[in-house]
Amino acid sequence: MPDLAPWLRTSLADLIDQYRVNTLPHALLLVGHPGHGGTLLTDALVAKLLCRADLPQACDDCKACRLHRAGNHPDFVRVQPEGKGQTIRVDAIRAINRKVAETAQQGGNKVIRLEQAEKMNSNAANALLKVLEEPSDGTFILLESSSLGRTLPTIRSRCRLVTLAEPTTNEALAMLVQGDFAFEPAIALGIAQGKPYAALAVTAEQIEQWSECERRFLHPSGFSQLSQFIHRTALDATLKQLMLWVDTAVRRQLSEHGKVVPVTDELIELLMKQPAQSLFDFRDYIVGQLGSINRQSNLNTQLMGEALAARWLDLRGTE
């Protein structure tokens, strides 16, 4: 099992300590974006709950650990969203309920892992309520969600909420640097919006587009060339990149350095010279454009690209 990211170690140690003194609740709702690595914490917790050795973490050697590693542990159930709509349906929850009613075959705990709990439809959620309310001894139900707001309140209220820590920029960069990462970590992290595990999946094409976007916006050679460039790229990716620049510049103006994603200094210095109000207006504009992209399919991206080029040239002013 890979080492757990440093920013998650305290949370895992706390949960395991609670387990070892019998105060770990039977139902946990673990909330965090997968790009921050929270699923690895759940991996480690599941392994520990199934392991039969009395150690601070799973021994990786007992029969239960070996069965789990092979994907064959009879007392572990993993539920994920399925089908075209990627939902968790009531059938999957009924299988959980049957498992909870059985006796553990390996004599240890029964562990249920329900991924993307926010994808449960209301029938599925209703079917799960009973086991959340009346758990059987030695059964742990771990629900994972990337969004607390989208997890049904009836589910939220019956679980202990565990909000998983997010890395600082330095922690995220350190993870990528140590991992023999093929790309410039700061750029990959920028593309992945600061989420290091998402950065691991960044492609060479995305890196190239990101760098070219910086060059073109930093030194635009006129309106028509900039708008043609924008038209050739994925507009939503370009807008998100611009948003990162603006957010970083605003934070620097406010002297906040904590969660800044790395961006070319020259670009940030250019933006920091602009009045804060212009930056906020430009940011509102980007948010509006991203909203349109999410809501509509038949957009005139050429027109949107031209408008964006004009807004950008207006914002940065002439040098």
Least CB distance from residue 48 to Zn ion, whole Å? 9
Nearer to Zn ion, 46 or 172 (CB): 46
Beta bridge partners of 111: 76, 140
**Torsion sign (Cα): 139, 116, 150, 33:** positive
Nearer to Zn ion, 58 or 191 (CB): 58
Which among 162, 165, 164, 159 is positioned nearest to 25, based on CA atoms?
159
How far is residue 59 from each of residues 48, 52, 55, 62, 319, measured CA to CA in Å?
A: 8, 8, 7, 7, 63
Nearer to Zn ion, 51 or 286 (CB): 51
- Which tokens sit at 168? 């600082």
- Which tokens sit at 55? 């150690």
Per DSSP, the residues of 226-275 read HHHHHHHS-HHHHHHHHHHHHHHHHHHHTT--TTPPP--HHHHHHHHTS-
**According to the binding rule CB under 5 A, does residue 59 interact with Zn ion?**
yes
Binding residues among 158-217 for Zn ion as defined by CB under 5 A:
none
Least CB distance from residue 68 to Zn ion, whole Å? 8
Nearer to Zn ion, 62 or 174 (CB): 62
* Of positions 4, 25, 34, 62, contacts Zn ion by CB under 5 A: 62
Least CB distance from residue 277 to Zn ion, whole Å? 59
Nearer to Zn ion, 65 or 308 (CB): 65
* Of positions 15, 45, 65, 172, contacts Zn ion by CB under 5 A: 65
Least CB distance from residue 22 to Zn ion, whole Å? 19
Least CB distance from residue 11 to Zn ion, whole Å? 21
**According to the binding rule CB under 5 A, does residue 53 interact with Zn ion?**
yes
Least CB distance from residue 65 to Zn ion, whole Å? 3
Least CB distance from residue 58 to Zn ion, whole Å? 5
Taking a C-beta distance cutoff of 8 angstroms, is the pair 40, 12 a contact?
A: no
| Lookup result for tokens 């507009």 | 235
Nearer to Zn ion, 111 or 124 (CB): 111
Q: Binding segment for Zn ion among 65-73, 135-143, 197-205, 304-312 (CB under 5 A)?
A: 65-73
Nearer to Zn ion, 59 or 290 (CB): 59
Taking a C-beta distance cutoff of 8 angstroms, is the pair 191, 210 a contact?
A: yes
Q: Return the SS3 of 162.
A: strand
Least CB distance from residue 44 to Zn ion, whole Å? 12
CA–CA gap between residue 294 and residue 304 (Å, rounded) = 14
**According to the binding rule CB under 5 A, does residue 51 interact with Zn ion?**
yes
Taking a C-beta distance cutoff of 8 angstroms, is the pair 199, 175 a contact?
A: no
How far is residue 308 from each of residues 162, 282, 295, measured CA to CA in Å?
A: 41, 10, 18
Q: Binding segment for Zn ion among 62-70, 160-168, 223-231, 242-250 (CB under 5 A)?
A: 62-70
User: Site for Zn ion (CB under 5 A): how many residues?
Assistant: 5
Q: Rule CB under 5 A: which residues touch Zn ion?
A: 51, 53, 59, 62, 65
